[in-house]
């Protein structure tokens, strides 16, 4: 378990260091050259990061897209390091 306070600080009540970056539900989303978002983060080589996603079970197979790796929500589950 690695604490992180970048997305949600101790001062705001995150005493455990919960963050999307240490959540088991976070997935990395990669770019694709056929995407049409010119100037956006989604078009490009598949080796480049486009953002981050949350695949929490509550979302019934859907992934919620996030631009930043660091945030927090109520479905946080610690990664098994």
pLDDT tens string 10-55: 999 999 999 999 999 999 999 999 988 766 678 889 999 999 999 9
The predicted structure's pLDDT at residue 58 = 87
The mean pLDDT value for 1-6 works out to: 91
**pTM (predicted TM-score):** 0.84
Asked if pLDDT for residue 1 goes beyond 80, the answer is no
Q: In angstroms, rounded to a whole number, what is the distance separating the alpha carbons of residues 12 and 45?
A: 38
Q: In angstroms, rounded to a whole number, what is the distance separating the alpha carbons of residues 10 and 37?
A: 36
């Amino acid at each position: 378990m690695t604490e992180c306070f970048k997305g949600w600080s101790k001062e705001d009540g995150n005493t455990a260091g919960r963050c999307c970056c240490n959540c088991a539900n976070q997935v990395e989303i990669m770019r694709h050259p056929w995407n049409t978002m010119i100037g956006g983060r989604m078009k490009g080589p598949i080796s480049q990061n486009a953002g981050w996603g949350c695949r929490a079970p509550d979302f019934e197979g859907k992934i919620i897209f996030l631009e930043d790796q660091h945030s927090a929500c109520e479905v946080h589950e610690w990664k098994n390091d």
